[in-house]
């Protein structure tokens, strides 16, 4: 496993890329309402990234081994879609929940973040899933400090999700990030405390738990990208990019419109 420890110049560039990614989500929030298509949200985000921010949308034409190039600039995952939902002419309806996943490239560095949005008025169950998943992410982030382990992060997420009656998707995880979209280490959202890689100052990675209301099993749709729950239960995801600092962590994907951390974790 080749971990890239970031220097001060890298970190400053990552702060900028991360803030810009988060600001795309601030910008798009008013447009996420009943009647809009995910394709329209993709177009608006693309234009904002390219024409306003001077960024490159990292997902567009991204092609990891075994995949056709991703055809859009953002990911839009609705209801039972877990991740990598491809924007289309699908119209968002009142009560839907949708994850918008944004990754910008600015001056060669990536910023990666996602948020859940409730379309109109969600059900109590859907809102609870989004809220619990948000807290799962922050409970994982709160473990980050030099000397802690990746297992500490995964355990904190898994324990809270499962104690809330939910399950953790295991096939997808957080990842190192910097000049490359996906770097080592892989950051699992389940695990045992005290196990796995020890964290060091200068590491940067994402924490992005995918939490299902039903069972954790998933399958891939025919488009080769979109992942859904096998039992068609709702799924939610939140994501931040996090730096390991000398005495803890710094969240690099914050902006004015970010929801603050849960009160018990501030």
Whole-number pLDDT of residue 51: 98
Q: Are 17 and 109 in contact (CB under 8 A)?
A: yes
Whole-number pLDDT of residue 67: 87
Q: CA–CA separation, 41 vs 188, rounded Å? A: 29
Whole-number pLDDT of residue 1: 67
Q: CA–CA separation, 156 vs 202, rounded Å? A: 22
Q: Which two tokens stand for residue 10?
A: 């890298």
Whole-number pLDDT of residue 265: 80
| pTM attached to this predicted model | 0.97
Q: 95: left (phi > 0), else alpha (psi -120 to 50), else beta?
A: left
Angle (deg, nearest 10), helices 8-28 and 38-47: 130
Whole-number pLDDT of residue 66: 84
Q: Which domains does the chain have, with CATH numbers?
A: 8-265 (3.90.230.10)
Residue with tokens 């974790």: 265
The secondary structure of the chain, three-state, reads: CCECCCCHHHHHHHHHHHHHHHHHHHHHHHHCCCCCEHHHHHHHHHHHHHHHCCCEECCCCCCCCCCCCCCCCCEEEECCEEECCCCCCCECCCCCEEEEEEEEEECCEEEEEEEEEECCCCCHHHHHHHHHHHHHHHHHHCCCCCCCEHHHHHHHHHHHHHHCCCEECCCCCEEECCCCCCEEEEECCCCCCCCCCECCCCCEEEECCEEECCCCCEEECCCCCCEEECCCCCEEECEEEEEECCCCEEECCCCCCCCCCCHHHC
Q: What is the mean pLDDT of each run of 10 residues along the chain (266 residues)?
A: 93 98 98 98 98 98 92 98 97 98 98 98 98 98 98 98 98 97 97 97 98 97 96 98 98 97 85
């Amino acid at each position: 496993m080749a971990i890239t420890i970031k220097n001060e110049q890298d970190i400053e560039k990552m702060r900028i890329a991360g803030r810009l990614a988060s600001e795309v989500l601030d910008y798009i929030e008013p447009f996420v309402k009943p009647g809009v298509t995910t394709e329209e949200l993709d177009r608006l985000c693309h234009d904002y990234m390219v024409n306003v921010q001077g960024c490159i949308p990292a997902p567009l034409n991204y092609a990891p081994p075994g995949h056709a190039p991703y055809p859009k600039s953002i990911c839009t995952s609705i209801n039972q879609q877990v991740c990598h939902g491809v924007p289309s002419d699908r119209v968002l309806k009142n009560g839907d929940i949708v994850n918008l996943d944004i990754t910008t490239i600015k001056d060669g560095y990536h910023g990666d973040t996602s948020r859940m949005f409730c379309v109109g008025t969600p059900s109590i169950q859907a809102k609870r899933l989004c809220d619990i998943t948000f807290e799962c992410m922050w409970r994982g982030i709160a473990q980050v400090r030099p000397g802690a382990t990746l297992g500490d992060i995964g355990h904190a997420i898994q324990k809270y999700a499962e104690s809330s009656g939910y399950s953790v998707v295991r096939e997808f995880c957080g990842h190192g990030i910097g000049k490359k979209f996906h770097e080592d280490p892989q950051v699992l959202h389940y695990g045992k405390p005290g196990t796995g890689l020890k964290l060091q100052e200068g590491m940067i990675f994402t924490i992005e738990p995918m939490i299902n209301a039903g069972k954790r099993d998933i399958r891939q749709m025919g488009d080769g990208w979109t992942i859904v729950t096998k039992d068609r239960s709702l799924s939610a995801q939140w994501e931040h990019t996090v730096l390991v600092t000398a005495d803890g962590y710094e969240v690099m994907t914050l902006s004015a419109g970010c929801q603050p951390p849960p009160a018990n974790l501030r």
